[in-house]
Amino acid sequence: VSMGVLTCMKYLMFIFNVLVFAGGTCLAGMGVWVAVDPAGFKDIVAARAVLSAGAWLLLAVGIALSLLGFLGCCGALRRSRPLLLL
C-alpha cells in the first residue's frame, strides 16, 4: 500500500471524527438548551416527564459522541490503533 493512500485514509478518518465530534457537541448543546431554558421548552417539558428525561438523554449521548469523536481525532493523527478501535 502506497504512502499516499495511507495519508489519505488518515485525513479521511480525521475528518469523519471531526464530524462526529461536531454532531455530539450540537446534541449536547441542544440537550442543555432543552433542559435549562425556562422560556423556550420548559412549558412543553413540564407537561411530559418523558421529554425531560429525553433532554438529559440527549445531553448524555452528545457528551459521549463528543468524547468518542475527540479520541478518534487523536487516534487518527497519531495513528493509534487502540484509540481508533475505541
Q: How confident is the model at residue 6 (pLDDT cuts 50, 70, 90)?
A: confident
**Is residue 21 within 8 Å of 75, Cβ to Cβ?**
no
In a domain, 86, yes or no: no
pLDDT digit string (tens) for 25-45? 999 998 888 777 756 666 666
In a domain, 33, yes or no: yes
Task: Please state, in angstroms and rounded to a whole number, the distance separating the CA atoms of residues 81 and 78.
Answer: 9
* Grid coordinates belonging to 62: 452528545
Do 26 and 61 meet the contact criterion of CB atoms below 8 Å apart? no
User: Among all chains, which residue has been given the C-alpha cell 495519508?
Assistant: 7
- Asked whether residue 6 is domain-assigned, the answer is no
Residue 8 lies in a domain: no
- Number of domains observed in the structure of the chain: 1
Q: Does residue 70 lie in a domain region? A: yes
Quick one: pLDDT at residue 69? 93
Identify whether 68 is part of a domain.
yes
Q: Does residue 83 form part of some domain? A: no
| Per-residue pLDDT tens over the stretch 40-73 | 666 666 666 677 778 889 999 999 999 999 998 9
